[in-house]
A and B are shown apart, each in its own frame.
Chain A
Amino acid sequence: MQHTIAFETKKVLHHLKHFLPSQSPLKDFVHHNLLHFFQDHSFSEANKRSTKIFGYKTYLNISEFRQLYRSGIIEEKIIENVILKHKSQEELEEYKFRLLYDNVEVSFQGRMGRIMHKWKDEYKVNISKYIQPKLFRLISNYLDQGISLIEFPIVEEGLLNNVRNIELHSFQSYFLLKKGRSRKWLLENNKEALQIPYLLKILVGDDEWFEDYLYDLCFEHPGWSGMVSVLEDHPDYLTHPRKISLEEFIVLELLFQIDYLDYKLKEWQALTKVSKMPEDHLFEEKFSDEEELNFELLQLWQEAFEWSYYEKVLNAIKQHSSKINNTLCASQKSFQTIHCIDDREESFRRYLELLDNNCETFSTAGFFNIDAYYQPQHSKHLLKIAPAPVKPQHLLKEKSELVEHTTDVHLEARHHTYLGGWLIAQTIGYWSAIKLALHLFKPHNNPLTISAFNHISPSSSIEYEYSPHHSIDSCQLKVGYTKEEAIQRSELLLKSIGLTKNFAPFVYIMAHGAGSTNNPYYAAYDCGACSGKPGSVNARVMCAFLNQKEIREELKNRGIDIPNDTRFIPVLHNTTTDEVLFYDTDDLNEQQKQDLKKHQEIFEKALHLNAKERARRFGTIVNMKNKSEEEIHNEVKNRQYALFEVRPEYNHATNALCVVGRRALTKDIFLDRRSFLQSYDYTTDKDGELLPYVLKSITAVCGGINLEYYYSRVDNQKLGSGSKLPHNIFGLLSVANGAEGDLRIGLPSQMVEIHDPLRLLMVVEHYPQMVLNAIRFYPEVYEWYKNAWINLVVYHPETNEFYVFNTTLETMEKISDMNNKEINSITLSDLLKIFENNSQNLNVYFLK
C-alpha cells in the first residue's frame, strides 16, 4: 500500500475482491485453493501471512503433529532429513529438540477489524450488531433464487436503485433516521455522495486509512462480501438474474453505518480525528523472531508429515518397477476402461484389475475432452460440463420423449399461503409422520434424492453432431461438434492417455457422479472436471464419436488404429452407491451382449469390494465381520437416500497423491483411495509434446481439491463451514448457521474429518528435463509448483530414480536420502480383513 497515492476506488476494490472468498453458489460448487489470493507467494509464506493478517489457521497444531510423531505416522528419520534439507548439520539437534519440545503458540487473532473496532473503543457502539442482520436480510432477499415467495421488488438494475425504489414508496424505512443525511443521499441519488471515498471521508477521515477500513468492513462478513464479489464477476451463476456489485454493497453498508451513528451518537467525528491509528497498515505486518521461528517449525513438521507418507509411496513405485514390462497383447484383453483421474476411482480400478487379469484401465480428466454446455430437454438453463477455467463454445442438447419428473409436496410453496397453508397444516401433517417414519426406518428413493443417474436418462439421446441447420444458438454457442472438432478431441484423448493401439473389444468410458439426500453440498460430490456435474453426457458423446466409422478412419491416419469390432460404451459410476449404469447398449449384437453381461458381473463384484473398502471409514456400518460384501454394499447404497446421512460418502477426503504415468507404475499397489491417477505413456510421447497439456488439465483441478481439503481441515471454522448440522440455506446460494449468520465458506467438518492435511505429491513419469519444460510451459501451471502448493517428484522410467523439484533453484534434484524400506505384500482376503477392523489410513501394500 502506498500512502502517498490518493485513494483509488477501482484499484482498491480490485485488490479487495482478490482477497475475498471466491466460493461459487451451491449448484456451481468447484473446489479451489482457499488461499488463492496468495497463490503468488510460496506455500509457507502464504500460510504465515494469512495467519497473521486474517487469523486463518494454516497448519495443524504443534500438539497434533507431535501426536502423529508419537503414534509413528511421522517418522524420526524423516524429521532429520527435513531439517537437514533446510538447516546445517550443527543445527540438527537444536531443531529436533525444538520440534519435539519447544513451546509453540500461534495466535489466530488476525489483524482484521483494527480500525472498525475503534467505534467500540471510542464511542462504545457496536455497529455491526445492528447493521448486519438488516444488511444480510436485504442482500439475501435481493439475490434470492427461489426460497422467498414474495420476490424482492425489482424495478431497475442494481441493488441501490432497488433499495431506493422501496424507500421512495414505503412509509417505513430501512434507515433509522428518516430525515437523516444518508437516506437523503440515497433518495436523491446523489452521485457525488454515493461514492465510497465520499462516505469514507465522513466515517474514517484521513484517506490513508480508507483501504484498511474497507478490508475490516468486508471481512466482518467475508461470506456475503465474497458471494457478492463472485456474483458480480459471474452473473451467469444466477438462474434469476440480478445485477450486483461489491461497490454498491459497500456503499449501502457505509450508508447504514452513517445512519446508525447519526441516530445513536448525534455528535461524532471521523475515526482518524478522535482515535490513534495503528502503527502500520494491514498488509505491512511484521513478524517477531519468535513468530518466524514458530512458523518455521510448523513448516518443518508439515514437510516431515508429508514425506513420511510420500516416501512410502515412492518406495512402493520403485520396488514395483521390476514388473512394469509385462504388457498384454491385444488378443488377450477382455476389456479396457477409461476412468476419471478422481481418487475415488483408484480402488475401483484396482478391484477390476484384481478380478480380471486381462482387463486394462486408464484414466484422464473426467470430462473426456468434451468441453460443452448441456441443456436438458425441459430446461432453459445451460449446465456447464467442462473444467472450471474452460469457456466452452459448444452446446449439447438432450432429446427425450419421457418426462421423469417427481416432486415433493413438502417443499412446494403452497404451505405458506393464507388458506392453502391452513388446509395443508390441518391435513397433510398426518401423511408427513408416516412419510418421515418410512424415510427413517427404510431409506428409499424419493424426490429429494439427487442422483447422478438423473443427469441424463439412458432413454434420451444427445444432439452431438453439428449440422448447419442448427446454426449458432442464441447464446453464441455452437450446437454439437463438427467432424473435425470431434476428431481432434478423440485424438487428443486417446493420445494423452497412451491408448493408441491394442484396443480390446470393449472400451468402457467411465464417467462418475454421486448421489445424496438432504445435502446442500451435493455439487461438490460430482465430477470436478465437469464443474460439479456428473460426466455421463461427456462420456456418451465421446463414445459416440469413437464408435463412428468416419472418425475411426481419420484417426487411423493420425496413428490410432481402432479395430472394427471394438466398441466404446459409456458408463456412469455412482461413487456414493457404487452402482454403474450402462448407456447406449441397445444395438449390440448377441455375442457382444453376452460379453457385456460377463463384464457386468465383474463390475458388480468389483463394486461390492469397493463398497466394503469405503465402508470401513463410516463408523456407522457395524459388525462388518459377519456381513457379506453384498450386505455391506446394500448398507452403503442406503446412504444416498437416508435423510439423516451427513456423510453419504467421503468424497476426496484423504487425497494426497497424483501419479501421472503408465498404470503399470501403480498397478497392484494398494493406495487406499488417496491418489489421483492420470494415464500417460511417455513411450508414446518421448519429446514431451503432450505433457504440458496433460499437466495443465490436472494441476489446477487436483491442486484445488487438495488445498480446499487441506485448509478446511486445519481451520474448519474460518476456512471451513464448521459442522453441517446447524446449516440453513440462504436463497439457494449458500449456507449459514441459524437465521442471521454470515455465509460460510469451505467444506463442512463432516467432509474433512478423516482428511490428513498433506499437500499433493505429483509424481510424473518422464525424463526430468521434459517434466521441467512441461511445467514451465504455462505460467499459471508453473506457479503451483514454483510456490510449492504442489510437491513434484519425477520418476525417471529408465534409470528407475526419483527427482524432486527444488523450488528455490528451480531444478530437478535427484533424491538420494530416501530410506529403502521393504513394502509388504498382502493378499486380497487379508486386506478385506483389515477393512473390518480399521478405519484409519492404511499402509501402502503390494497386492498379491
Chain B
Amino acid sequence: MMEILKILLSLILGLNIIGFIIGLFFSEKEQQERPLALFSFSVVLLIGLILILLLILHIGHLFPSYNIFLFQLMHGFSIDLLWNTTTLIFLMTGNIITLLILYFSSYYMHRENGFKRFFNTLMFFYMAYTITVLSGNFTTLFIGWEYLGISSFLLIGFYRDRYLPVRNSVKVFSVYRIADIGLIVSMWALHHILHENVLFYNFRPSSYINDYVDNHYYTALAIGLGILVASAGKSALFPFSYWLPRAMEGPTASSAIFYGSLSVHMGVLLLLKTYYLWNQFYELRILMFLVGSITYFTANKSAKLQSSIKPQIGYSSIAQIGIMYIELSLGLYWLVLIHFVSNAFLRTYQLIVSPSVAAYLMRQQVYFSELIEKIQKHFIHYLPNRLKYTLFVLAHNEWYLDPLINTYLFGTIKKIGRVFQFINTKTFLLFVLPLFVLSFYIHQNKIHLPLHFSENIYAILLSFVAVILIIRAFAERYKVFLVLYLILFSELFIALAVSYNEKYDVLSFLIYLSGIIPGFLIALICLIYLKSKEERYFDLNKYYGHIYEHRWFGFVFLISILSIIGFPITPTFLGEDIIIEHIHTHQVLLAFNFAIHFILTGITGIKMYARLFLGHHCKPYHEIAIKSA
C-alpha cells in the first residue's frame, strides 16, 4: 500500500510541477490560447484520474493515515507527505474546482491581455495547493504555504497596470507575512521540543504526543498559538478579515478559486493537520471558539452591509470559516470537512455567477416586483437605536481592521524606521560594513571577546542590527539601492548572529547565501540598468509601472527578489530552516528578531518590486486608467 501510495502521490506532484513548467514555454499569441488551456486542463484532469484511483484504494482501508517519505533535502530536512482522508478530500475538492475554473477560464479569458500569465499563475497556484495539502511536515508545508502567498500576490495584481490591484496585492501579501510569524514560531519551538524532523503523522492520538504536551506545556501552547495565528491570517479570520474583499481585484475566475474557495480554506487545513496537537489545550479551544464567533458575527454583519457583490460573497465565506473554527473547537472534525467542501463549491459558484446579479435582481424587481417576496431589509429591530447605529457604522467601516493593521502596525514600524534615518549610503559604508567585516573576522578567527556573558549577547546584538537595518529599509521611500543593500546586510547579519551560536558551520552559511548573493547581484544589475534607462522615475515613493516597457527585466527582478527574501526556489530557504534550528529554546529574543526580519524582508522586497515595476505606468504616452479606477 505504502509503495503504491508513494508512486501515485509522487506522480501527482510530478505532474503538477511538470504541468506548471511546460506551461511557461507556451507563447503569448492568440493561437496558443487553446493549446495552453487544453494542456493545463489535461494535466489537472490526469491528476483527477489518479485521485479517483486513490479514492478506490482508500475506500478499501477506511480511515488510514500514512506518512510517505519522499526524499531527504539535507540532514534534518526531508520532503514528507501525509496521506489520510482529510488530504484526499482537500485534494479532490481542489481538483474539481481547479478543473472547472480552468475550463471556465479557457473561454472567459479569451483574448485577454495576459492569458498566458493567468494560466501559468493558476497552475502555479494549483501546484502550491497540492504541496500544501499533501505536506507531511512543516518544511514541506512551508514551501507550499509560501508558493500560495506569492501566487495570491500575482493574481490579485493581475491587472498590474492599475493602482488599486497592485496596492491591494501588496497589502494581502503583507498580511500573509504577518501571519507567517505564527508558522515560524511553531516551527522553531517544535524543532527544539522534539529534536527531530516533525511529522504531522505523529500528531495523532498516541502516548507520544501526550508525553510531549505534558513535558513542555507552555512551549506546546505557544506552538498551538502560532498555528492559530498562521491559520487566522491565511483564512482571513478576525482581525485579518479586511484583506479578503480587497483581494477581489483579479478576473472573476481567479477570485472564485482563491478567495471564494481554495486559498481561503488553507488556514482550516493547517488546523486539521495539527488537530491533535492543539486539541488538547482548552485554552486554545476557547480562544478558537472566540475567534470563530467574533469572525462569524463581524463578517456576517459586513456581508449584509456590502453594497457590492464580490465582497459580499467574500465576507459570507469568511463567516462560514468562522463557524468552521467553532466546529473545530468543539471537536467536530468531520463536520468541518463536510462544511469545507460545501462552502468551497458554493462560493465558487456564487462568485462565478456574480456578474449576473444586476441583471437577475433587476429583472426580479422590474418584471416581477409584485411577486417577489419583499426581502425583509431588517435593520436589527430588537436592538436599541444607539447600538443599532453603532453596529452599522462599525460594520460599514469593516470594524476598523484595515487602519488597525496598516496605520498602527506598519505605521509604527515606519516611524521607528525614520528614527534610523541616519543610516544612509554614507554611514552605511562607514559603520555597517565595517561592523559586519569585524564581526565576521572575530567569528572566523574565534577571537575571544571581552565581555564573557556568553556568546549569546553578541548573537542578539547582531540580530538587532539586522532588524534595525530591515526596518530602516522598510521605511525608506527614495533610495532604491540603499534598500537593496540594507536587505542584503540584514540577511547577512542574521546569518552572522546565528553563527555566533554553536554548530553553525560554513556549509550552512553557504547554503543560506546561495540564493541571497546571486539574487542580490542580479537585482543590482537590473536596478543599474533600470536607473540608466529611467533616471527620472526611479524611487520607492510611487508606483512607476516600468513593467510596461521592461517586461523581462521586471520578471528577472522579481525572481531575484524572491531568492533574496528566501523564497523556496533556492537553497536559501533551507538555510533559513537551519537558522531556526540553531536558535536555542531560551533565545526567545533572537527567535523574535528572526521572525521580524523574515516578515519585513519579504514585504520590503516585494514592495520594492511593486513600486518600481507595477502600478500606473509613469509615462503618459498611452491610455492610463485614473488612479481610483
Q: Are B164 and A722 in contact (CB under 8 A)?
A: no
Question: Could you tell me if B625 and A722 are in contact, using CB atoms closer than 8 angstroms?
Answer: yes
Query: What are the interface flags for A411-443 relative to B under an 8 Å C-beta threshold, 1 for contact and 0 otherwise?
Result: 101011110011011111110110111001100
Verify A440–B109 contact, CB threshold 8 A.
no
Assess the A166–B392 pair: CB atoms within 8 A: yes
For residue B628, CB closer than 8 A to chain A, the reply is: yes
Highest count of chain B CB atoms <10 Å: which of A620, A722, A732? A732
Q: Is A570 an interface residue (CB 8 A)?
A: no
CB A155 to nearest CB in B, in angstroms, measures: 11
Which residues of A are found within 8 Å of B345, using beta-carbon distances?
Answer: 429-430, 432-433, 436
Which single member of A61, A141, A441 contacts B396 (CB below 8 Å)? A141
A737 in contact with B366 given A221-B628, A429-B344 (CB within 8 Å): no
Q: Which residues in window 684-730 of A have CB below 8 A to B?
A: 714-718, 722-730
Residues on B with C-beta less than 8 A from A727 are 252, 355
Docked CA distance A432–B343 (Å): 10
Q: Assess whether A753 is in contact with B111, with CB atoms less than 8 Å apart.
A: yes
Task: Check if B342 sits within 8 Å of A428, measured CB to CB.
Answer: yes
| Inter-chain contact A425/B342, CB cutoff 8 Å | yes
Q: Does B42 contact A (CB under 8 A)?
A: no
Once the chains bind, are A518 and B107 in contact (CB under 8 Å)? Answer: no
Report the bound CA distance from A732 to B355 in whole Å.
10
Per-residue 0/1 for B364-394: is the Cβ within 8 Å of any A Cβ (1 yes, 0 no)?
A: 1111111100010111100001101110111
B358 at the interface (CB under 8 A from A): yes
Interface of A is mostly: loop
Question: Is there a chain A Cβ closer than 8 Å to B177's Cβ?
Answer: no
Contact of A646 among B108, B354, B395 (CB under 8 A): B108
CB-based contact B628/A432 at 8 Å: no
Q: Is the CB of A416 within 8 A of B394?
A: no
For the complex, give the distance between the alpha carbons of A381 and B345 in Å.
36
Contact B159 A723 (CB under 8 A): yes
Question: Shortest Cβ distance from A51 into chain B, in angstroms?
Answer: 10
Question: Considering the chains assembled together, what is the distance between the CA atoms of A172 and B393 in angstroms?
Answer: 6
Q: Do residues B359 and A171 form an inter-chain contact, with CB atoms below 8 A?
A: no
Task: Count residues of chain A with CB under 8 A from any CB of chain B.
Answer: 118
Residues facing A in B374-425 (CB within 8 A) are: 375, 377-380, 385-386, 388-390, 392-397
- Total A-B residue contacts, Cβ distance less than 8 Å: 348
Judge whether A448 and B379 touch: CB under 8 Å.
no
Q: How far is the CA of A447 from the CA of B621 in the complex (A)?
A: 45
B550 interface hit (Cβ, 8 Å): no
Is B389 touching A169 in the complex (CB atoms < 8 A)?
yes
Please tell me if the beta carbons of B354 and A729 are within 8 angstroms of each other in the complex: yes
Q: How far is the CB of B324 from chain A (nearest CB, A)?
A: 9
Within 8 A of B (CB), among A387-405: 403, 405
The verdict on B353 contacting chain A, using a C-beta distance below 8 Å, is yes
Say how far A116's CB is from chain B's closest CB, in angstroms: 11
- CB proximity of B359 to chain A, nearest CB, Å: 5
CB distance B355 to A729 under 8 Å?
Answer: yes
List of B residues within 8 angstroms of A642 by Cβ: 107
Contact partners of B353 in chain A: CB under 8 A: 408, 410-411, 448, 518, 643
Q: Does A173 contact B (CB under 8 A)?
A: yes
Q: Are the CB atoms of A416 and B623 closer together than 8 Å? A: no
Q: Which residues of chain A come closer than 8 Å to B346, judged between CB atoms?
A: 410, 415, 424-425, 428-429, 432
B162 to A, closest residue via Cβ: A737
Could you say which of B162, B308, B358 contacts A739, with CB atoms under 8 Å apart? B308
CB-CB contacts below 8 Å: A350-366 with B: none
List residues of chain A with CB within 8 A of the CB of B316. 415-416, 421, 425
- Flag whether B245 is at the interface (Cβ < 8 A): yes
Contacts of A418 in B (CB 8 A): 296, 300
Question: Does A7 interact with chain B (Cβ within 8 Å)?
Answer: no
**A149 lies within 8 A of B308 (CB):** no
Interface contact B307-A430, CB-CB below 8 Å: no
Contact A732 to B629, CB < 8 A, known contacts A425-B346, A429-B343, A429-B346: no
Cross-chain contact B628 with A150 (CB below 8 angstroms): no
Residue contact B164 to A740, C-beta cutoff 8 Å: yes
Q: Can you name the residue of chain B whose Cβ is closest to the Cβ of A143? A: B307
Q: Mark A135-161, 1 if CB is under 8 A from B, else 0.
A: 001101101111111110100000000
Instruction: Determine the residue in chain B with the shortest Cβ distance to A166.
Output: B389
- Residues in A73-132 with C-beta less than 8 Å from chain B: 105-109, 128, 132
Binds B, one of A32-40, A372-380, A488-496, A547-555: A372-380
Chain B interface category by residue count: 35 or more
A726 to B104, CA, bound (A): 15
- B323 contacts A by Cβ under 8 Å: yes
Within the complex, which residue of B107, B255, B341, B356 is in contact with A430, where a contact is CB–CB below 8 Å? Answer: B341
Which of B112, B162, B352, B393 is in CB contact (< 8 Å) with A166?
B393
Chain B positions within 8 Å of A637 at CB level: none
Q: Name the CB-closest residue of A to B252.
A: A725
- With a cutoff of 8 Å between Cβ atoms, the chain B residues found around residue A72 in the complex are none
Residue pair A432, B307 in contact (C-beta under 8 Å): no
A454 cross-chain contacts in B, Cβ below 8 A:
363, 367
CB pair B104–A644 under 8 Å, yes or no, is yes
Contact of A171 among B301, B362, B370, B390 (CB under 8 A): B390
> Can you list, as one digit per residue, whether each of B102-143 has a CB less than 8 Å from chain A (1) or not (0)?
011111111111000000000000000000000000000000
Q: In the complex, what residues of A have CB within 8 A of residue B307's CB?
A: 137, 140-141, 143-144, 147-148, 730-731
Cβ of B312 under 8 Å from chain A: yes
The reply on A519 being an interface residue by CB < 8 A is yes
- Find chain B residues with CB under 8 A from A718 CB: 623-626
Q: Which of B158, B349, B367 contacts A379 (CB 8 A)?
A: B367
A437 touches B100 (CB 8 A): yes
Q: Of residues A57, A140, A147, which shows the largest number of chain B Cβ atoms within 10 Å of its Cβ?
A: A147
Contact of A622 with B by CB under 8 A = yes
B463 on interface, CB distance cutoff 8 Å: no
Q: Given the complex, which residues of B lie within 8 Å of A128, measured CB to CB?
A: 627-628
The answer to whether A837 has its CB under 8 Å from any CB of chain B is: no
Within the complex, what minimum Cβ distance (angstroms) separates B454 from chain A? 46
> CB-defined interface of B83-113 with A at 8 Å, one 1/0 digit per residue?
0000000000000110010011111111111
Is the beta-carbon distance between B300 and A416 smaller than 8 angstroms?
Answer: yes
Kindly report which residue of chain B lies nearest to residue A522, judged by CB atoms: B359
Q: Which residues of B contact A726 (CB under 8 A)?
A: 158-159, 165, 248-252, 255
A647 to B107, CA, bound (A): 10
Determine if A153 and B392 form an interchain contact, defined as CB atoms under 8 angstroms apart.
yes
> What is the bound-complex CA distance between A46 and B301, given in angstroms?
48
Known A-B contacts A223-B629, A645-B107, A715-B623; A378 and B370 likewise in contact (beta carbons under 8 Å): yes
Decide if B189 is an interface residue (CB 8 Å cutoff). no
| Interfacial chain B residues near A172, Cβ < 8 Å | 390, 393-394, 397
Q: Is the CB of A441 within 8 A of B352?
A: no
In the complex, A26 has a CB within 8 A of chain B = yes
Check: A655 CB closer than 8 A to any chain B CB.
no
Residue of A nearest to B310 (CB): A728
Residue of B nearest to A428 (CB): B346
Q: Is B536 an interface residue (CB 8 A)?
A: no
Q: Are B112 and A723 in contact (CB under 8 A)?
A: yes
- A518–B368 CB distance below 8 A: no
B341 to chain A, nearest CB (A): 7
| B503 on interface, CB distance cutoff 8 Å | no
Whether A232 sits at the interface, judged by CB under 8 Å, is no
Q: In the complex, are the beta carbons of A732 and B628 less than 8 A apart?
A: no
Q: Is A741 an interface residue (CB 8 A)?
A: yes
Chain B residue numbers with a CB within 8 Å of A783 are none
Inter-chain contact A426/B393, CB cutoff 8 Å? no
For the complex with contacts A141-B307, A432-B349, A731-B307, 18 further pairs of A-B residues with Cβ separation under 8 Å are A106-B621, A137-B396, A150-B305, A153-B392, A169-B388, A415-B316, A415-B346, A418-B296, A429-B342, A433-B345, A619-B110, A644-B106, A645-B107, A724-B355, A728-B310, A729-B354, A732-B362, A739-B246
Instruction: Please name 18 pairs of A and B residues whose Cβ atoms are closer than 8 Å in the assembled complex, sorted by A.
Output: A26-B359, A150-B380, A383-B366, A421-B316, A425-B320, A440-B100, A520-B358, A643-B353, A644-B104, A646-B110, A647-B110, A717-B623, A717-B626, A718-B626, A726-B249, A726-B250, A731-B307, A739-B311
8 cross-chain pairs, A with B, having the tightest CB-CB distances, nearest first: A429-B342, A725-B251, A429-B346, A170-B389, A432-B349, A717-B625, A433-B345, A151-B377
